[in-house]
């Protein structure tokens, strides 16, 4: 079973920041938080991951609370092409396998 809880859907205005929350209250010390997204009719795409520090890359920022029980993915200037289902996944640091356990995700709709 997925170890994360996300809102089913969210809306965001184009050009504004999209803040997608994720609850992972049972996360253990040796688990990363990963984010993937799936645009309609495509395979999932990796966005970002983190352990306990905030992370930023060219796509997004990841803010992890100090107790690591929740996190927020931030798309700083959402565009229509960011409309997708966003998945928050917890994954062991020392996992030697490629298995990803997806939850139901958040369907983000970016509106003009």
Residues that bind another protein (CB under 8 A): 41-46, 49, 87, 95-105
Longest dimension (CA), the chain: 42
Strand order in the sheet with 9-13: 9-13, 106-111, 84-92, 31-38, 45-50
Residue 81 backbone phi and psi in degrees, to 5: -75, -10
Smallest distance from another protein to CB 5, Å: 14
Considering the complex, state which of residue 14 and residue 107 has its C-beta at the smaller distance from another protein. 107
Smallest distance from another protein to CB 105, Å: 8
Q: How many CB atoms lie within 10 A of CB 18?
A: 25
User: Across the strands, what pairs with 31?
Assistant: 92
Considering the complex, state which of residue 14 and residue 55 has its C-beta at the smaller distance from another protein. 55
Considering the complex, state which of residue 12 and residue 34 has its C-beta at the smaller distance from another protein. 34
Considering the complex, state which of residue 14 and residue 109 has its C-beta at the smaller distance from another protein. 109
Smallest distance from another protein to CB 97, Å: 5
**What is d(CA 78, CA 100) in angstroms, rounded to the nearest whole number?**
26
Smallest distance from another protein to CB 11, Å: 21
């Amino acid at each position: 079973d997925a170890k994360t809880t996300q809102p089913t859907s969210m809306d965001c205005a184009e050009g504004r920041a999209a803040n997608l929350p994720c609850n992972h209250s049972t996360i253990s010390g040796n688990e990363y938080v990963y984010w993937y997204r799936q645009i309609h009719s495509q395979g999932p795409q990796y966005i970002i991951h983190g352990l306990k520090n905030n992370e930023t890359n060219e796509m997004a920022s990841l803010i992890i609370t100090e107790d690591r029980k929740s996190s927020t993915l931030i798309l700083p200037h959402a565009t229509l092409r960011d409309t997708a289902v966003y998945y928050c996944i917890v994954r062991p640091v020392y996992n030697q396998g490629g298995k990803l356990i997806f939850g139901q995700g958040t369907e983000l709709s970016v509106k003009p």
